[in-house]
Structure 1
Amino acid sequence: MTDLHLTHLGEHGSPVMLCHGLFGQGKNWTQIAKALADRHRVTLVDMPNHGRSGWTERLDYLEMADAVASAIDEPTALVGHSMGGKAAMLAALRHPEKVERLCVVDVSPVAYRSTDEFSRYIDGMLAIDLDGLGSRSEASEALAEAAPDPGVRGFLLQSLQRDGDGWRWLPNLEVLRRDLAVLRGFPETDAVYEGPVLWVAGADSGYVRDEFAPQMEARFPNVRRVTIKGAGHWVHSEQPQVFTEVLARFVDAG
């Protein structure tokens, strides 16, 4: 079982666990965690192969889900975005006794078609000569072609860390690149999670569509869908205030 790095905020109230998406780390959700921490005990997870958590030799959503579930000591409101959302869904399906309620952020329990976007990002990150890198601004310049959007590029560069006199990437980029097809997929399962589920979508994102609703409702019959305007795939960072309000109402009901 992969060792997960966990950060805890708040000392009172019911537990909430937040699982980030591809290329992220738990601290990306700090602002939202702080908004909940006055009335909840919030845990920020660094997912396997990301942040300060351990690396694995391959990507496997079932192992990822079990690693998340192993970090839960009591029925918890589990929140997951993108890759973290798929892991959270599977954690609820495989360990329903540990998940009091589930919030899935801009992802569906389906296999997505191949896209060049994420592979382009990883190729761009791997192409940077870390031994010859002088500054983070140099890294940003080197990554500009692969990630022209400044916001996306800044997000990716949050995982570039100083390592002594040099630099290193926190994500396990080689394995992520090799197993991108695994990340796009979703394991077959007949399991059903009966607890309350909030399904949050960005209005400008294609990850949650009407055509995916039957798959979601089959596994999560007690689901309610909310679409947030002015947001794409990174809903929580593009519309943080609205997202936090929506999420707070859901977890406060637990």
Structure 2
Amino acid sequence: MSAEKLHVHRYGPTEPARLLLVHGLTGHGRRWKTLAEQHLPEVAVLAPDLLGHGRSSWAAPWTLDANVEALAALLDGPTVVAGHSFGGAVALNLAAAHPDLVSKLVLLDPAVELDGEWMREIADAMLASPDYPDRAEARAEKANGSWGEVAPEELDRDLDEHLVELAGGRYGWRISI
């Protein structure tokens, strides 16, 4: 798997990456923008969209192994790797498969050792993900749900990156899993 299949958001200095940030199952690399720009401006950061997410290739496979190999192709040497949720599982597998590329590993609520039936229910719910008649309805669902405490400008930035117009004029998330 080559790195060309991944869309990569880069933050900080234009030097070899010192930090690789890996998003969760429903996310994309741009979700790390505020952390990288406001809290780590001196650090060269890579924040890719995983396979099947955001602006990366939507062509299967979207497996853990495929993502691990695509991420490994981005790295030139030992790098701090941080992953959230599903990204934590990917990061952990990257460290196991390529210990020479991972200098430190940070796992944020990693999706490991989870019940298979519960994960199937989550996946089924995601695959049945609703579409919306317009941006306002999508925004309202996020603002009234799990993103209720997120700053409005952060929510709008996420919608700008992750909400796309579908065939027929409705809107949905930029994800193919």
Structure 1 residue ranges without an equivalent (≥5) = 177-254
State the SS of the aligned residue for 1:114. helix
Provide the C-alpha distance between the structure 2 equivalents of 1:14 and 1:139, rounded to a whole number of angstroms. 34
Identify the range of structure 1 (51-60 vs 18-27) with the bigger mean alpha-carbon deviation.
51-60
Contact 1:26 1:44 in 2 (8 A): yes
* TM-score (normalised: structure 1): 0.55
Instruction: Calculate the aligned-residue CA RMSD, in Å.
Output: 3.1
The alpha-carbon distance between structure 1 residues 30 and 67, as it changes in their structure 2 partners (threshold 3 A), is: same
| Matched AA of 2:59 | T
State the one-letter code of the partner of 2:30. K
Q: Report if the CA contact (8 A) 2:17-2:75 is conserved.
A: no
Matched, 1:47 2:37: no
TM-score (norm 2): 0.76
Corresponding residue of 1:138: 137
1:168 and 1:124, CA in 2 relative to 1: closer, same or farther beyond 3 A? closer
SS at match of 1:149: coil
Cα deviation 1:67-100 (Å, max 9, x = unaligned)? 1111111211011111111111111100111111
C-alpha offsets along residues 186-210 of structure 1, whole Å, 9 cap, x if unaligned? xxxxxxxxxxxxxxxxxxxxxxxxx
How many residues are aligned here? 162
Tell me if the contact between 1:15 and 1:41 (Cα under 8 Å) persists in the aligned partners. yes
Equivalent of 1:100 in 98, 103, 106: 103
CA contact (8 A) 1:86 1:109 kept: yes
1:119 aligns with: 124
Partner residue of 1:6?
A: 8
Within 2, Cα distance between the matches of 1:149 and 1:168? 16
Identity %: 27
Specify whether residues 52 and 40 from structure 1 end up closer, same or farther in structure 2 by C-alpha distance, changes over 3 A only.
same
Partner-residue secondary structure (3-state), 1:24:
coil
Q: Which residue matches 1:90?
A: 93
Inter-CA distance 14–117: structure 2 relative to 1 (3 Å threshold) = closer
Structure 2: which 5+ residue stretches go unaligned? none
Residues in 1 aligned to 2:73 and 2:117: alpha-carbon distance in whole angstroms: 31
